[in-house]
Amino acid sequence: MAKKRVLVVGGDGYCGWATALHLSTLGYDVAILDNLIRRHWDATHGIDTLTPIVPIERRIAAWQRKSGRTIELFIADVADYGALARAIEAYAPDTIVHFGEQRSAPFSMIDREHAVMTQTVNVTGTLNILFAMRDLAPEAHLVKLGTMGEYGTPNIDIEEGYIEIQHNGRRDVLPYPKQPGSFYHLSKVHDSDNISFACRIWGLRATDLNQGVVYGNSDETAGDPELLNRFDYDGLFGTVLNRFCVEAVVGYPLTVHGAGGQTRSFIDLRDTVACVELSIANPPDPGRLQVFNQFTEQFSVLELAERVHRVATRRGLTPTIEHRENPRVEREAHYYNAKNTSLLALGLQPHLLEDATIDAMLDLAERYRDRVDLAQIASHVQWAPGARARGASNLHAPAPIVPPDSTNLTPLRR
């Protein structure tokens, strides 16, 4: 590796922490920049990860004891351009891996304040990174975590970032049309446009990783309790597979929103960190934004519920599957076929969702069962209160509905 210094922005988060450790294992010099606001949001919204997470300083110290490698830490907010610029100037990274955003669709849909916060944090932070690169690290490569949610659910195949079109006898390759499903996903679309513009006018180089829903653990974060990663199952930040595994363990119904036909892309966390490393090792030319669709499989929500149900039943658990009213405004029956050939061509060897993976997630849920808060499981955020009365129900396929059971961070400076 000719270029080895990597700054992982948002390195205290689920994907960022796993990526920082994986790159450190591979011999990269790694620094983390984070303002720790994700922990603050847990506290202010009354939620918590299933797994107990130690402070970031203890995490890094534990990694140094285990691996013999040091990870540098910058406590800073990407919204604070001065602090961000000082960190980039001091560390002089060859690559900036950017995970430092508010990443929850439900969080962005709570109310006006959360929508504005999400777009302000995400769009402003990315713009600050782009300006800092232009002025302080113009040769660096930006690897930015996007989302497959930018595309929505179009009735045509989803290409990787760009699409060739013919119109009135002329052809061109243009950015793929986006149909995001939340204010969070909209912020990612704005990021993609801003990054593309900065590459085009300033000659920067960037890779946009449109990631599917991520699950599981990485090799580096498994085992040591001080290196544990997050396992979010709550209605704000939790992911569907995590929720199903927790529900199965505690005897709560596997809650499928609506018909369950919503189909999305998924990826194992071990493949996420591998994709980031492949992107770092294969930067685009200056002035270009390359886009990779970062996922390995596609599942509907109901398919996932049925798989968890099968594995849990084999373990002696007795989960049921129940359909609940869908709080989102989304199509529950739709065409979905996304391309993901680029990272495979670069050498990605996928870890597919096997029963053993679900078993491992159920093991983790059982180990920390006493930390489960049933009140956190349900999603209370409505995309459009009263929308069904205004005709939005046309977006939804018929589904049996069963009622639920009764049962200001101040940035620190380094």
CA distance 17 to 37: 14
Among 88, 83, 210, 239, CA closest to 149:
210
Among 243, 238, 205, 165, CA closest to 14:
238
Active site residue 188: yes
- Work out the burial of residue 142: count CB atoms within 10 Å of its CB; fewer than 13 is exposed, 13-18 middle, 19 or more buried: buried
Helix (H) or strand (E) holding 255: strand 254-257
Helix (H) or strand (E) holding 98: strand 95-98
Catalytic residue among 184, 215, 233, 336: 184
Amino acid identity for residue 181 in this structure? G
Question: Are the C-beta atoms of residues 12 and 71 closer than 8 Å to each other?
Answer: no
Active site residue 147: yes
Which of helix, strand or coil describes residue 263?
Answer: strand
Catalytic residue among 49, 51, 95, 188: 188
Cβ atoms within 10 A of the Cβ of 44, count? 11
Amino acid identity for residue 92 in this structure? A
Catalytic residue among 19, 147, 207, 272: 147
First-to-final CA distance of the chain: 29
Angle between helix 355-367 and 240-250 (nearest 10): 60
Active site residue 320: no
Active site residues: 147, 184, 188
